[in-house]
Amino acid sequence: MQQGFRDRSDAGRALAAALAHYRDRRDLLVLGLPRGGVPVAFEVAQALGAPLDVFVVRKLGFPGHEEFAMGAIASGGVRVLNPELSGHLTLQSEVVQQVAEKERVELERRENLYRKGRESLELKDRCVILVDDGLATGSTMRAAIVAIRAQVPARLVVAVPVASAHTCTELGREVDEIVCAVTPEPLASVGRWYRDFDQTSDAQVQTLLSRAAHEPPRLPQPGRA
């Protein structure tokens, strides 16, 4: 594996370097897509001196082949279907509805678990950096983009350590800026570009959100990179 990352924290520090031009913006907010995007987003938020929050999105997987995304849902009732599939098969509305309802339950469970009654941070008129640990088809990220756009941020940036070059280009048309640190061809899978790609747990997400809320950001010292 070339140009890979040790783990999500290492990827987050590398990504933060590519986002250094946003450091210390007073309107800046970093959002992580749980679960795997949160350790990456934590490092970005710490390096840029920004608050951290989560934005919950759930992939809609094909029944029996859940690794293939037919779309995604996000907070606020947003549902996005994968446009690349529209010419290859007809998705029966009842199948989509059944999968979406199941994922909606999990989406609400995660929001309640991570927030513990805390309101989500205001996105209107903020510069929002939306972070995940990687992009393959982009269905999950696309649903998040639609949902966040509805809240009228001043600027929306998508940032990931690794992505398909095609997906990076396509999603770049939907946001103000996209930062993809590595765009290998072929991508094969996001996990291939991490030496440690163990699943992030709910407990880890909660711990990082708590740390971000109570620890000051690790800003660079004067005269140091």
Q: Each residue of 26-53: pLDDT tens digit?
A: 999 999 999 999 999 999 999 999 999 9
222 pLDDT higher than 60:
no
Q: What is the average pLDDT across 74-86?
A: 73
Q: What is the DSSP string of 69-104?
A: EEEEEETTTEEEE-GGGTTT-PPPHHHHHHHHHHHH
- Model confidence band, residue 90 (pLDDT cutoffs 50, 70, 90): low
Q: What is the CATH number of domain 8-56+122-214?
A: 3.40.50.2020
- Enumerate residues 6+ apart whose C-beta is below 8 A from 159: 15, 18, 19, 44, 129, 130, 131, 178, 179, 180
Confidence of residue 134 (pLDDT cuts 50, 70, 90): very high
pLDDT at 224: 38
pTM of the model: 0.85
Residue 211 has pLDDT above 50, yes or no: yes
CB 31 within 8 A of CB 55: yes
Side-by-side strand order, sheet with 127-131: 52-54, 28-32, 127-131, 155-162, 177-182
The residue extents of the domains of the chain are 8-56+122-214
Output the six-digit token pair for 118.
């805390």
